[in-house]
Amino acid sequence: MLGSRVLLIIGGGIAAYRALELIRRLRERGCVVSTCLTRSGREFVTPLSISALSEQKVHLDLFDLTEESEMGHIELSRSADLIIVAPGTADIMSKMANGAANDLASTLLMATDKQILVAPAMNVRMWNHPSTRRNHDILVSDGVKFIGPNEGKMACGDYGPGRMSEPDEIADKAESILRQGPLNSIHAIITSGPTYEAIDPVRFIGNRSSGAQGSAIASALVRLGADVTFISGPGTVNYPDGVKVVTVETADEMFSAVNEALPAEVAIFVAAVSDWKIENVQRQKIKKSSRQTAPTLVLAENKDILSHVSNLKQNRPKLVIGFAAESENILENARTKRLKKGCDWIAANDVSVGSGVMGGNCNKVSLISEMNTENWPKMSKENVAKRLIEKILKHLN
Ligand SMILES: Cc1cc2nc3c(=O)[nH]c(=O)nc-3n(C[C@H](O)[C@H](O)[C@H](O)COP(=O)(O)O)c2cc1C
């Protein structure tokens, strides 16, 4: 990001103090950071600390004649390569969605011809309020990018989504936007890792998926500038940088998370989702001592996420890709699966004993589309990701 110019708009929320750290993180990465502090923002952080960290004058008021003669508000909004709003308050989001321009921050946001990244931060009820949901959807369809909010304990004691993303996460996201890759305006959903289906409070049905393939694909997409929602079951690899992470445990949770993340241009279902869940999950740990015989587990079928998204009438991604883990008759089973689910491509991989794919570093994939089947040689999961992304790029252009 060396030399990139970022205009940071700091709204009036508790998380404003974290914007100070964000200035440092952006500057460490080589950005020149100019700032605008809202009137409410001044209740939380001082212009003095911001200017000390940014080594730039803080822009405060719309009607500041000296400033207009030095640098007008239009020029200020255009001279940046990227505008970041952090914390993005419910109020700023509402102004942006409704075209208000009644203070410096909202006027800069309306006058800009550059990309805008919002890092929302607010109480969970404010975030979930129908008006904020509406404003969020309007802004997404206007092309505004979002990072977070993250889920967690809030300053007010509530728990849920509303915490501002970490300064490093925001800086990563800014970096991926500034990189201006060929997938810059694309939203991609990736599911990754295993799912766990509870038997009782301590036991579960799971599988050996590590999340490495999903993570490699998400990283490759981020490198090309895509906006990635990474929905991950409890895998063992680190989450990729620069993505929006949504953590889930069960197939039902993954199903809901995918629906919430839509719309997207591309959806890649890499997760090894359990086909079945336990029908009657025991509330207490099943005890060996109280039983004469081994317990019988009654299974119920999980919702089929790939099939559901492939058959959506509204919001169906332009490209839906499923991964098929097969241990026998790989190509035949994967071709049947593609037709049955209605997805565009299936990446079939051999997970038979000894293949080392589940939990390993390499993968051997056959990519099956309506027209043909490509058999790729065994390669690292990173290279599988690169090759898949090349195909996606060609397909979308
Ligand atoms: C102590 C306190 C904390 C607040 N925290 C937030 C917050 O985290 N997010 C938010 O959207 N609004 C928060 N508000 C409300 C905003 O400050 C208020 O909506 C204000 O008008 C926002 O102005 P701005 O969007 O121009 O910065 C808070 C208010 C107070 C008094």
pLDDT of residue 21: 97
Pairing of strands 227-232, 244-247: parallel
- Residue 174 belongs to domain with CATH number: 3.40.50.1950
Output the six-digit token pair for 36.
Answer: 């605008």
Shared domain for 171 and 35, answered yes or no, is: yes
pLDDT digits (tens, 9 = 90+) for 309-330: 999 999 999 999 999 888 788 8
- Same domain, yes or no: 95 and 171: yes
Per-residue pLDDT tens digits for 359-379: 678 888 999 999 899 999 989
How far is Cα 36 from Cα 73, in angstroms, rounded to an integer?
Answer: 11
State the average pLDDT over residues 137-151.
92
Q: Which of 149, 178, 207 is the last residue of a domain?
A: 178
Q: Are residues 151 and 289 located together in one domain of the fold?
A: no
Same domain for 167 and 286, yes or no, is no
Q: Which ligand 1 atom sits nearest the alpha carbon of residue 105? A: 26
Residues 225 and 139 in one domain: no
Number of folded domains that form the chain: 2
> Mind giving me the DSSP string for 221-279?
HHHTT-EEEEEE-S-SSPPPTTSEEEE--SHHHHHHHHHHH---SEEEE-SB--SEEES
Instruction: Give the mean model confidence (pLDDT) for residues 247-276.
Output: 97
CA distance 368 to 330: 11
pLDDT at site 356:
63
Note the pLDDT of residue 62: 86
The answer to whether 271 touches 195, Cβ cutoff 8 Å, is yes
Q: What's the confidence (pLDDT) of residue 353? A: 63
pLDDT band at 74 (very low <50, low <70, confident <90, very high): confident
8 Å CB contact between 104 and 7: no
Boundary-marking domain end, from 141, 159, 178: 178
Amino acid at 96: M
Question: How deeply is 296 buried, as exposed, middle or buried, from its count of CB atoms within 10 A (0-12, 13-18, 19+)?
Answer: exposed
Residue 158 and residue 103 share a domain: yes
Phi and psi, residue 267, nearest 5°: -130, 125
Q: Which of 91, 123, 136, 156 to mutate to test the pocket of ligand 1 (most atoms within 8 A of CB)?
A: 91
Of the candidates 4, 14, 2, which has an alpha carbon nearest to the alpha carbon of residue 34? 4
Residue 114, SS3 per DSSP:
coil
Contact (CB, 8 A) for 11 and 85:
yes
Q: Do 241 and 220 share a domain, yes or no?
A: yes
Q: Which residues of 250-280 are buried (b: 16+ CB within 10 A; e: fewer)?
A: bbebbbbbbeebbebbbbbbbbbbbeebbee
What is the pLDDT, as a whole number, of residue 287? 87
Q: Which long-range contacts (CB under 8 A, 24 or more apart) does 285-294 make?
A: 285/200, 285/201, 285/202, 285/203, 286/199, 286/200, 286/203
Cα–Cα distance for residue pair 136/142, rounded to 1 Å: 10
CA of 32 to the centre of ligand 1 (A): 27
Q: Based on the domain organization, do 246 and 163 belong to the same domain? A: no
Based on the domain organization, do 322 and 239 belong to the same domain?
yes
Q: CA-to-CA distance for 50 and 10, rounded, in angstroms? A: 10
Q: Which residues line ligand 1 (CB under 6 A)?
A: 11-15, 38, 40-41, 89-92, 121-122, 126
Residue range(s) defining the domain that contains residue 222: 187-396
Q: Whose CA is nearest to atom 11 of ligand 1?
A: 89
Q: Name the least confident of 50-54, 290-294, 296-300.
A: 290-294
Q: Which residue has the tokens 């079928």?
A: 301
DSSP run (H or E) holding 135: helix 130-141
How far is 165 from 86, CA to CA, in rounded Å?
Answer: 9
Residues 283 and 250 in one domain: yes
Cis peptide before 240 (omega within 30 of 0): no
Q: Which CATH number goes with the domain that contains 279?
A: 3.40.50.10300
Which of 122, 157, 178 marks a domain boundary? Answer: 178
Task: State the pLDDT at residue 358.
Answer: 65
Tell me: do 152 and 192 sit in the same domain. Answer: no
Cα(195)–Cα(283) distance, integer angstroms: 19
C-alpha of residue 62 to centroid of ligand 1, in Å: 20
Give percent above pLDDT 70 in the chain.
Answer: 95
Catalytic pick among 31, 156, 343, 362: 156
Torsion sign, CA atoms 246, 252, 258, 259? negative
Distance CA 339, CA 20 (A): 52
Q: With a cut of 80, say whether residue 261 has pLDDT above it.
A: yes
Residues 151 and 249 in one domain: no
Going from the Cα of 384 to the center of ligand 1, the distance in angstroms, rounded, reads: 45
* Ligand 1 atom having least distance to the Cα of 106: 26
CA 48 – ligand 1 centroid, Å: 20
| pTM, 2 dp | 0.59
362 a catalytic residue = no
| Spacing, Cα 388 to ligand 1 middle (Å) | 44
**Nearest ligand 1 atom to alpha carbon 12:** 27
Quick one: which atom of ligand 1 is closest to the CA of 92? 25
pLDDT at 288: 81
